[in-house]
Structure 1
Amino acid sequence: MDALFQPSFGFHLYEYLLIIEPIAEAQKQIRAFKQYFIRSHRYPNAIVSKGHITLMRFVQYETYEKNIIRQLHQLAAATRPFDVELQGFGSFGHTLFVHVASTDPILELVSLRRTELRPLLNTRGFAPYFVSKPHVTIARNLTPSQHEAIWPIWNRTNYHGNFQAKNMILLKRKVGTHPYSVAHKFNFLGILPRFTQGKLFA
């Protein structure tokens, strides 16, 4: 086993996932899409977890967690709740997803601040991931033949939904284990001044 997965002086590596969860009717509809995928295509590729938009994913020692939470609190406090528009379906070839049409607030929230965030999240051997194309996954790990069979159907399926993003959630799990648990929820408050480049966590 890689030495990075071994406890070091009592410290443990954790996988972290920062997400936005659709609420109410949008979450219900996404769950219905996943169930329809399984019933109709009989591929075991649908994600059984609740639908979500991944903002970032990283691996870090748990000892950093309090500092990470503190910094994310500052980010959330400077962010106002915003509307998220879901429009149709997209594909990465291996992944079927609900397309997020209103990407700007999401990208500004995390991806455009990766320069400030990365030093806190970097761990040797594990580069942090920041969202570049926000989406809600319906099914993943599709083979080329599976994608060829299902994509013409989903490509012509119309869907429009929306919800207001009022918070983001940090999930965690020890490396190599399942499932995730909630580490912290951050409400969007919009009460602090907007951060400027290089001053996010000053």
Structure 2
Amino acid sequence: MSEYTLVISPDQRVTGLVRKLKKRLQERLGRNYGSVNSLGHITLIYFLAHDEDYPLILEEFKRVLAGLAPFKVGLSGFDAFTDRPECVFYVKPDDDSADRVLAQCKEIGTNFSKFLRRNYTDKWDIVARKSPHMTVGRDLTKLEIEECRALFTESFIESFQCNSFVIHKLNEERGQYDVIDAIPLLGHEYMVGQQMRLF
């Protein structure tokens, strides 16, 4: 089985800003760390699937996501997860955006075919239901989190328009995720209704 994630990817400008944050942290810590080379994103859903079943899953995501409308994502500073030995330093969405992301994840969970999820995926985890975030660095120590807080003292207030969700697949050779599909948010609520399920 392969590892897949459904994510929100920012526009090129915000992606570039997050890349600069990662580079600054790499120079400060003097080492590579988890996610140092990955493009900025907010992970929504993690799942496992066989490659031959992916086209079915992709079509279902297209059907469900067609019912979601594009929306603005606001980013409002930094925070960290320090409740585990491997800590995470991240850019946080503002409260309205976090609520919107949580609502989108709930809608996907409600409308995605239970049959497909049960029979064609494994370890389906709605990651963003805990706390939506855009990782700057992971696998950090608590001491390194303090280094992050000392380094990033500026306010990081940015925003971007989210018109699509993106699917990543883990490239096992590189140990990183590759972008394999972008699925537009069309705002067609009827697409996820019972009428479509009859066909």
Q: Provide the TM-score with structure 1 as the length reference.
A: 0.79
Identity %: 23
Specify the alignment match of 2:41 in structure 1.
Answer: 52
Q: Which amino acid aligns with 2:184?
A: N
1:166 to 145, 163, 166: 163
Q: How does 1:53-202 map to 2 (within 5 A)?
A: 53-93=42-82, 94-101=87-94, 102-117=97-112, 119=114, 120-122=116-118, 126-130=122-126, 131-132=128-129, 133-154=131-152, 156-173=153-170, 178-193=175-190, 195=192, 202=197
User: What one-letter code is carried by the residue in structure 2 that aligns with 1:128?
Assistant: W
Q: Provide the C-alpha distance between the structure 1 equivalents of 2:123 and 2:163, rounded to a whole number of angstroms.
A: 28
In 1, Cα distance between equivalents of 2:91 and 2:72: 16
Relative distance call for 1:56 and 1:200 in structure 2 (3 A) is farther
Checking the alignment, whether the CA contact within 8 Å between 2:90 and 2:134 is kept in structure 1 is: yes
Name the CA distance, whole Å, in 2 between partners of 1:177 and 1:61. 19
| Aligned equivalents of 2:7, 2:99: Cα separation in 1 | 16
How many Å separate the matches in 1 of 2:187 and 2:26? 40
> Under a length normalisation based on structure 2, what TM-score does the superposition of the two structures give?
0.80
Moved over 6 A (4+): 174-177
Name structure 2 gaps, 5 residues minimum: none
Per-residue Cα deviation, 1:70-91 (whole angstroms, up to 9, x for no partner): 1111122111110000000010
Instruction: Please give the alpha-carbon distance, in whole angstroms, between the structure 2 residues aligned to 1:177 and 1:35.
Output: 19
**Root mean square deviation of aligned Cα:** 2.8
Structure 1, unaligned stretches of length 5 or more? 1-12
CA contact (8 A) 2:49 2:120 kept: no
